[in-house]
Amino acid sequence: MDITVKLFATFRFGRFAAATRQYPPSTQISEIIDELQIPVSEISMIMLNGRHADPDQRLRDGDSLALFPLVAGG
C-alpha cells in the first residue's frame, strides 16, 4: 500500500521532506518510525490524515502520516 510520509524540521536531515512509499498492508506507524530510525523520544506530535495518532495505529492505503520533532526553545 502507498503511504505518504511528511517529515518536519530536523527529521528531514539525511532523510526526505515528503515521500510516498510502499509498505505492507496494515503496517503500524511505529514500524515506519523504526524504519526511518527516528528516536521515539524526539517525536512531539504524530498526525495521521490531519488527526492526532498513536504509534500503534495501523495504516491504510493512501494514508498521510506527518511526524513533528520536539521544538521547545525560547
Give one word for 22, left, alpha or beta, with left for phi > 0 and alpha for psi -120 to 50.
beta
* 42 touches another protein by CB under 8 A: yes
User: Does 34 contact another protein by CB under 8 A?
Assistant: no
5, 29, 32, 46: residue in contact with another protein (rule CB under 8 A): 46
Nearest to 55 by CA among 73, 43, 37: 43
Dihedral angle, C-alpha 72, 57, 1, 51, nearest 10 °: -50
- Closer by beta carbon to another protein, 32 or else 66: 66
Which listed residue (2, 12, 20, 26) binds another protein by CB under 8 A?
12
Rule CB under 8 A: say whether 74 interacts with another protein. Answer: yes
